[in-house]
Structure 1
């Protein structure tokens, strides 16, 4: 289990979406954390945007990026809480073809180790649509660090064993290719 250095690293083209009513690209600390980690890991920042907490706008941006052939994965940050304006999870689920249920479980386990029972308030989620991975992380820089450092850094690395998301990327849209 871990990184197999004999395998070739394959850069993933990743888009970052921040969901916030109060932040823009100039003061988006969580998006900055993710961008830094994505680039340092050797991946390509394919796009970055900020949208307000609006289910239709969030889902629209996700759908637009899911059909972009230059984007393999989308990481959103923000809007995963329990308040009335937190609609990122619902927007993601409007787009998913398949949900990656264990992502939520893994994120909760990581969070619990750091913040105890407060982890119950997070609704991190992940799924696949049109051959694109979608991950929704909470809006705090710490949660973005945890999600990247504890899960995504490994699952988006083709060298990670025993398995990873990258190795099955070519097959994610096989149902679309058969038509």
Structure 2
């Protein structure tokens, strides 16, 4: 069973939050605010926030810029993960991923099933790694952001979480890019 090892020191990570929406603005970005508030409450640093329209190329370009930024460890996007024609966030993420974290979407779906039943089938939450940076795409509802953060990310982004976590392997995410 998972647990927090109190003998280990907490290591804050630097998080960028991208809201994907054709209609949201800073003042009404409830999902982005939910993620930022939870990340900061957990002790992490929100180093960047942005709102972009549902445009695959713009989203992928921004993800790449943030992946290249040494001041960002994790990118979390919210919005654009549904099934409609304008929902292109998942495709933009996959344009950037070097490796996909398939189990992230699976676990998110399991958590969603407990709350919204079979409607969870419409979510395409995803996670991956690129350039030594973690990327996660979450649905655009504050509830979905709370579920993903409270049930998955708060634990996996905590270096003290056992038996394993995303933070402890961060130094090795880009080892294939380094010379031997």
TM-score class normalised by the smaller sequence: over 0.9
1:67 corresponds in structure 2 to: 68
Shift in Å, 1:50: 0.3
Alignment of 1:23-172 (within 5 A): 23-172=24-173
- How many residues of Structure 1 are paired with residues of Structure 2 in the alignment? 179
Shift in Å, 1:170: 0.1
Q: Does 1:17 align with 2:18?
A: yes
- Separation in 1, partners of 2:101, 2:19: 20
Query: Which secondary structure state, in structure 2, belongs to the residue aligned with residue 64 of structure 1?
Result: helix
- Where structure 2 has 5 or more consecutive residues not aligned to the other structure, the ranges are none
The Cα RMSD (Å) is 0.7
- Poorly superposed stretches of 4+, deviation over 3 Å: none
Shift in Å, 1:55: 0.1
- Separation in 1, partners of 2:56, 2:166: 27
Superposition TM-score, scaled by structure 1 size: 0.99
Query: Which secondary structure state, in structure 1, belongs to the residue aligned with residue 50 of structure 2?
Result: strand
- Where structure 1 has 5 or more consecutive residues not aligned to the other structure, the ranges are none
Superposition TM-score, scaled by structure 2 size: 0.98
- Separation in 1, partners of 2:7, 2:179: 33
Shift in Å, 1:103: 0.1
Shift in Å, 1:4: 0.8
Shift in Å, 1:27: 1.0
- Separation in 1, partners of 2:75, 2:129: 10
- Separation in 2, partners of 1:4, 1:109: 26
Shift in Å, 1:175: 1.0
Shift in Å, 1:176: 1.2
